[in-house]
Structure 1
Amino acid sequence: MKKWIKVIAILLAVIILFLATVFVVNVICNKIEKGKIQTYGQLVPVDGKQMNVLIQGSGGETVVLLPGYGTGAPALDFKPLIEELSPHYKVVVIEPFGYGLSDVTDKERTVENIVNETHEALQQLNINRYILMGHSISGIYGLDYVNKYENEVTAFVGIDSSVPTQGGTDEPVPTGTYKQLKQSGFFRLLMKLTPSQLIAPDVDDATKEQIRIISLKNSFNNSVLNESEHIASNFKAVEKLSFPKNLPLIFFLQANDTETEGWIPLHEEQIKNSVHGKVMTFEGDHYLHHTRSKEIAENFRSFMQEVKDVK
C-alpha cells in the first residue's frame, strides 16, 4: 500500500511539474514574442480604440479586404492577394478589433457593431467609395454592410464567403475550454507539436514567423471569443437580407466543399436576382486567397471590366 501511495505521489508531482512548466514557458514566450512583433500599417481611432489598417497600392479604385473569423494577422494573411491587386487598385486591409495589431474591445461582437466599426475606420481615412472583398464570415458582415452603405460600396466580392442559410452555425462554442487552453499554455504547446495547425499563405519565413507570433497573441482573446459566441445570432440577424440588385456581385468558391451541404447552390441563390452576378469555382481549400490569388485577381478585374462595358 505504501509503495502504491508513493507511486501515485510521484505521478502527481510529475503532472504538477509538467503543468507548471507549460504555464511558465508560455508566460515567458508571450513576453519575449511581444517585443519581436514588427508593426505594419497604421492605427486609426475607432470608437475610442485603435484599429490597424494596411494600405498598399495607388490605383484609381479602392478594394477593402475583410478577413475570415479568427484570422490572426489579416494584413499578412492577405499578402499574396494584396500583391496581385495592388498594381491596379488601392488595397485597404481592415484588421477588426481583436485581430492583427488592432486593440481588443469589450464591446459585443455583433454584426451591427463590427460593421459600424469597419465603416468608421474607412470614414477616418476619408475612403468613401470602394469595393468590398471579404473572406469567410465577412460574407455575413459584408451582406449587412452593403445594405447599410449601398451608396458607398461599388461591388462585393466573396472569397469562399459565408451565407446566412448555411448549416452548422448554431452549434455551441466551448469558449471556456478555449480560454483555458490559452491561459494554461497548452495551446502554444499544441501549436509547437503540430505546426500544421498554423494557417498561413506561402510567404517567406520571416513573414510566416510574424503570422505565428501574432496568431498566438490573438488566439482566443476576449474579442475573438465574444465573436464566436455571437456567430449564431449574427447569421440570424442577416438571414432576411439580400444583396442589392444592381450591385456587382462575384463569388470565388472552393470547388469541392465537403463540410457545408449545397455550398455552391447557396451562393447561386444569392446572385439569382443580381443584374451583375457570377459564381466561379477553383480547386483548393477554404483559404483560396493563399493559393489562387492570381486567378482571383485576374477574374475579378475581368468581371469589373465586363460590368463597365455593359454600363
Structure 2
Amino acid sequence: MKKFLLFTLKILISIIVLAVVLDFLYTTVYLQSTNRGKIEDVFNSKSRKYDVIILGSSRANNHFVAQMFEEKGLKTFNYGMSGGHLFEASLLLKLMIERNYQIKNVILEADLNLSNDHQAEGISAKFLPYLHKSEVIRKHFEQESDFNELYYIPFYRYIKYDTKIGFREIFKIVKCERTSALDNLGYYPLVRHKKGNMKNDIVNLKPLPHNKYYEEIKSICKANNINFIAVMTPMCENVVGMNYFDKVKKTYPEIHNYENVVVENKYFSSCGHMNDTGARLFTAIILRDFFNK
C-alpha cells in the first residue's frame, strides 16, 4: 500500500511539473506572436499613436474601411473582431492604454452587442495566454465563474480552449504562419457575389439598461482624453424588429444611429454585414459627419 501511494504521488508530481513546464513553453511562444491576430498584435506592442481606433464585432470589422481614413490623413486601425462582444472590445482598449497607446478617437460599433454583457468565449480565450502577464487581463477575468481554474491550475486554460489557443495554434506561431486578420489595416472586406442570410429577426433583442462593458469603454476614453464616437451600423432592408435601434437610442442617447444610411440589399453580403461596396459608402458618411473629410 505504501509503495502504491508513493507511486501515485510521483505520478501526480510528474503531471504537475509537466503542466507547469508546458504552460511556460506555450506562454513563451505566445509572447513572440505578432502576425496571427489582433489581440497578440496589441499585447506584443507598445507606444503606438493613432488618430482613429475602431472597436466592435464583425459589424465593425466588415463596415469600417480603415484605408479610407488613412487616405484622409488619419492614422487608423480597425480592431473589430468577428464574433466578439463588448467584453473583448473593452479589454482590448484597456490593453492599448496599458501599452501606452496614444489615441485621439475611438469609434465603437455599439448596437446588437448592447443586448448582452457576457464574453464571447471563442474570442476571449485568445487573451488567456497572457493571463499571468497582464494585470489588466487578470482583473478583467476575475469576475468570471471559471477564473480560479484558469488562473491557478497550470496549463488548464490551454487544455480547455485547445481549439483556440492549443497545440495547433502554437505550431502555426512557431512556423510563422500569418493570418489575414491584420491585412487592410484590420478591415475585412466582404465580396459582393457571395450572399449569406438575407433575412434577420431581431424582434426579441433588447438592449441592456446598463451594459457594463459599454460604460467601461466610455469611462476609459474620458479618463484618457479620447474622443468617443459610438455608432449603430447598417442592416439590410429585410430585417424584422428594426425598432431595436430606437430602443438603443432611447437607452443610450449618445449613440449615433446609422442603421438606415445604407439599406439596399445589393450593398450587403448578409443581412447584418455590408459588402465592400456598402462599407465604402458607409465609411464615407462617417468621415464626412465626424471628421469633415
Q: Same fold (TM over 0.5)?
A: no
Classify the TM-score, shorter chain: 0.3 to 0.5
Scaled by the length of structure 1, the TM-score of the pair is 0.39
